[in-house]
Chain A
């Protein structure tokens, strides 16, 4: 994985992901190691994302590396009209690795072609967010003890949720059974379902969240956005159907964990937070270890 960019979830093989998860486990035991001493990582966030950016920056800092970059395109030369290509080529001269979030799909792929240093895609428009996928896999593996043969439910906006798409595609490598819960209008696209069919795995679709809870090991919640509905009345009809609360979790499996990529709005009720099933904050913390592992592998220090 040395010197390779991670732009899309398919850029690395299943074996390579497992290696990243294994390295992340080491970092979880000891996140503060000076192995990135004298390395410079650039975080170029052309659109804001406090959570992902801080997660990467903390990861670098804890490993003794230095961070440069910007968190908003308006505070960079992009405002003066500089092309993406020029910006990337210039920053590549100042750093050993670039972590990039950009509003246009395909921007990270392009950056990886013009940059002389590796690129980690921290989100390109509605397309990919591979490090979120990795930390989700890590969380699933950690809480369930494995990635194989699990029953995993994805709830909410399955049509536009890029984290859902990447996770489903990644999980098809692990003999998973999928349970999809969403309003009719936000079902998982057939292009993603194709991946499941190609691997001869099963999936089930539901509109009722309570139906799925006793069946699964992982409940992955996502936010349903008002703006995805052309008719606001349609949103009003469904907005409360996919809210998870303490009561709904009655009768769930002993090992069930609730995941959410965050930020959450109202789809997980706060009465769930203190339950043993609530894992979403630890999930975010796992992001630091996974990103440490990824950067260490790409920079060739692990």
Chain B
């Protein structure tokens, strides 16, 4: 009988060198792909959706071979995957595990809810300051209006 933990470890560390993003809400996996531009990665990328999770019922997971992320790069996914865990693997060993953190600024990921904002009428990357982490309120750097959780649309 295989130990469940060992099996889980094997699923995760079947990667020799790279990054695993675990505990992604299943519906957000493709958004994470888009935000991190994973389509452009030249090496193996595997993903799973609706995998069983003790913690959250169902989860999504992405394994990216030979790719390592800086913290501010990975924190971009925090808006769509606040529960995500980053696992860094080298030589089949897990060398680091950390939670993503919602960043203070969100750039080029979310659309401004104000139709009269210059970012919706000219070609300009959007930029927001997170003014409320729990309620997910984003203050637009340009038009100074707040886009709230219910109105968040991704670019």
Q: Are A and B physically bound partners?
A: yes
Report which A residues bind B (CB closer than 8 A): 8, 83-85, 102-107, 109-110, 124-128, 191
Tally of A-B Cβ pairs under 8 angstroms: 52
List, sorted by A's number, 19 A–B pairs whose CB atoms are closer than 8 Å: A83-B122, A84-B118, A84-B122, A85-B122, A85-B123, A105-B117, A106-B118, A106-B141, A106-B144, A107-B118, A109-B142, A110-B124, A110-B142, A124-B118, A125-B116, A125-B143, A126-B116, A127-B144, A127-B145
Which residue of the partner chain B has the closest CB to A128?
Answer: B144
Q: Which of A85, A103, A126, A127 has the most CB of B within 10 A?
A: A127
Partner of B122, one of A103, A110, A125: A110
Other 12 A-B pairs with CB < 8 A, given A84-B118, A104-B118, A107-B142: A104-B122, A105-B116, A105-B143, A106-B117, A106-B118, A106-B141, A107-B118, A109-B141, A110-B142, A124-B143, A127-B144, A128-B144
Bound Cα distance from A124 to B119, whole angstroms: 13
Structural contact, B119 and A106, CB atoms closer than 8 A: yes
B window 101-119: CB within 8 A of A: 114, 116-119
Q: Which of A8, A84, A103, A106 has the most CB of B within 10 A?
A: A106
B window 136-150: CB within 8 A of A: 140-146
Which residue of the partner chain B has the closest CB to A8?
Answer: B144
Nearest CB of A to B5, in Å: 49
* Chain A residues within 8 Å of B143, by CB: 104-106, 124-125, 127
Partner of B114, one of A102, A105, A191: A105
